[in-house]
Homo-oligomer: A and B are copies of this chain.
């Protein structure tokens, strides 16, 4: 086991060095550096591939796997829990990786690294055509990947499984369809409501500097440790951890709307609290990561929505926001602000969407990427398909591809299968939050008083610190006593919006 740990340490060094190269590319790299950077990323990805493959070159991993898999046969040799989890997760990565070739891994890494720069440029110019050949190449590679991995029903399955172990296209469709039905119903009710909440659109300019200042205050207050992290700007907001002591978040700013950056910031800060909260000694093993992308998203969505869009939260922060931007907030009551913040209005940008329509954005992306992978639609038709689905599910039409098909970075980074985890994250978040409220009946008082310490501790103890020790199912059962149950999300959302819209 000690030998395996030594090999894994190398793998996690390479992993986090790759993350640093990616962070720098997306935040600070000069534009002309893209090609050279992609070459370095490809080289290191190839090296990482070799290291993963050679984990079992002398049968070390297989032997440990055998001891883990047959605890009844060798009860005396049964591995302790931590080691079991390490072997389980290592085997999972190894099994996947050995089906891929080094050339393929390098080509995918190089392509997606460059594609992200092309995407940023293409998004800026709202020009899908520039991005199209890159997207086509990525889809070609992802299909090739699915072929190498081997799949039973859909080539989409094993891509999804990468982000959410055990999840399939079929299961996802079931969950998302239930969501689609309930949310569409709720949306109809809200549309019929007599309560009309006007948007908070003003003609003011909110300086980026002041927004950064406010966002940093919020991030710090909820527990983000700036001695162990940074906050910067990038085209698409993200969070990345190189180690629990070095976790970076980014956001993007709109000088006409301070809540645009605020939403991303608290979302990414939620991810960052998770990363900063993992036990440092887990670094260098698969345990030094979040359980799954869905569980990770639950941590960002919980802070962004359940807490960050609650009345109690703004009882504490609205006076601070007012101080930063006396115009227009000095003239707007907390109650009015709260309602506007939670106004439900089908809109164009996912990261900016309200809680009711958000999952519809995810569903749209899920359907598109699954159909792309299954060869039912072609990349060149995407703007049309996207706009059609936006019209159908949300009743809005993007004025250009920047506000439409080009808004998210995920496909450019090869992250097909990633989007469903956002919806899963919402479900997990509501379920965890229900339990947290039971354990902490005065949680609203804490929030309105700006006391986030116990909330962070609760999350730290139950989720953050454990890293990837358990699977998503195990963790959910351990915390809430039941399996993933969408009813928590439905009742959360129904209660909240029934009150706001007096349904």
Residues of A within 8 A of B (CB): 9-10, 13, 16-17, 20-21, 24, 28-33, 35-37, 39-40, 43-44, 225-230, 242-243, 245-246, 283
Does the CB pair B36–A245 fall under 8 Å? yes
Using CB atoms, name the residue of chain B closest to A232.
B28
CA distance A226 to B28 in the complex (A): 12
Q: Which of B32, B226, B242 contacts A246 (CB 8 A)?
A: B32
Q: Which of B37, B39, B228 contacts A33 (CB 8 A)?
A: B228
Given contacts A35-B245, A228-B33, A243-B33, is CB(A40)–CB(B28) below 8 Å?
no
Contacts of A43 on B, CB cut-off 8 Å?
9-10, 13
Q: Which of B16, B29, B39 contacts A40 (CB 8 A)?
A: B16
Q: Would you mind naming 26 contact pairs between A and B with Cβ atoms under 8 Å apart?
A: A13-B39, A13-B43, A13-B44, A17-B17, A17-B40, A17-B44, A20-B20, A24-B24, A28-B230, A29-B230, A29-B246, A30-B226, A30-B227, A30-B246, A32-B225, A32-B227, A32-B228, A32-B245, A33-B242, A33-B243, A33-B246, A35-B245, A36-B243, A36-B283, A37-B246, A40-B242
CA distance A43 to B245 in the complex (A): 18
Closest 4 pairs (CB-CB, A-B): A33-B246, A36-B243, A32-B245, A32-B228
Q: Chain B nearest CB: distance from A394 CB in Å? A: 38
Contacts of A246 on B, CB cut-off 8 Å?
29-30, 32-33, 36-37
Q: Chain B nearest CB: distance from A22 CB in Å? A: 11
CA distance A395 to B225 in the complex (A): 46
CA distance A40 to B229 in the complex (A): 17
Q: Chain B nearest CB: distance from A474 CB in Å? A: 28
Q: Chain B nearest CB: distance from A269 CB in Å? A: 14
Contacts of A37 on B, CB cut-off 8 Å?
242-243, 246
CA distance A229 to B9 in the complex (A): 33
Contacts of A33 on B, CB cut-off 8 Å?
228, 242-243, 245-246
CA distance A13 to B229 in the complex (A): 27
Q: Chain B nearest CB: distance from A350 CB in Å? A: 29
Does the CB pair A30–B229 fall under 8 Å? yes
CA distance A4 to B110 in the complex (A): 23
Does the CB pair B40–A227 fall under 8 Å? no
CA distance A285 to B187 in the complex (A): 61
Contacts of A13 on B, CB cut-off 8 Å?
39-40, 43-44
Using CB atoms, name the residue of chain B closest to A276.
B32
Using CB atoms, name the residue of chain B closest to A28.
B230
Contacts of A24 on B, CB cut-off 8 Å?
20, 24
Does the CB pair B17–A21 fall under 8 Å? yes
Residue in A13, A229, A283 with the greatest tally of chain B CB atoms within 10 Å? A13
CA distance A226 to B32 in the complex (A): 9
Q: Chain B nearest CB: distance from A390 CB in Å? A: 35
CA distance A225 to B16 in the complex (A): 30
CA distance A296 to B79 in the complex (A): 57
Contacts of A245 on B, CB cut-off 8 Å?
30, 32-33, 35-36
Contacts of A283 on B, CB cut-off 8 Å?
36
Residue in A20, A33, A227, A243 with the greatest tally of chain B CB atoms within 10 Å? A33
Contacts of A39 on B, CB cut-off 8 Å?
13
CA distance A44 to B43 in the complex (A): 13
Q: Chain B nearest CB: distance from A229 CB in Å? A: 5
Using CB atoms, name the residue of chain B closest to A35.
B245
CA distance A139 to B36 in the complex (A): 36
Using CB atoms, name the residue of chain B closest to A33.
B246
Using CB atoms, name the residue of chain B closest to A42.
B13
Q: Chain B nearest CB: distance from A39 CB in Å? A: 7
Contacts of A30 on B, CB cut-off 8 Å?
226-230, 245-246
Contacts of A21 on B, CB cut-off 8 Å?
17, 20
Q: Chain B nearest CB: distance from A30 CB in Å? A: 5
CA distance A474 to B176 in the complex (A): 70
Seed contacts A30-B227, A30-B229, A36-B243; 7 additional CB < 8 Å A-B pairs? A9-B43, A13-B40, A17-B40, A28-B230, A32-B246, A33-B242, A37-B242
CA distance A380 to B226 in the complex (A): 34
CA distance A217 to B36 in the complex (A): 26
Contacts of A229 on B, CB cut-off 8 Å?
30
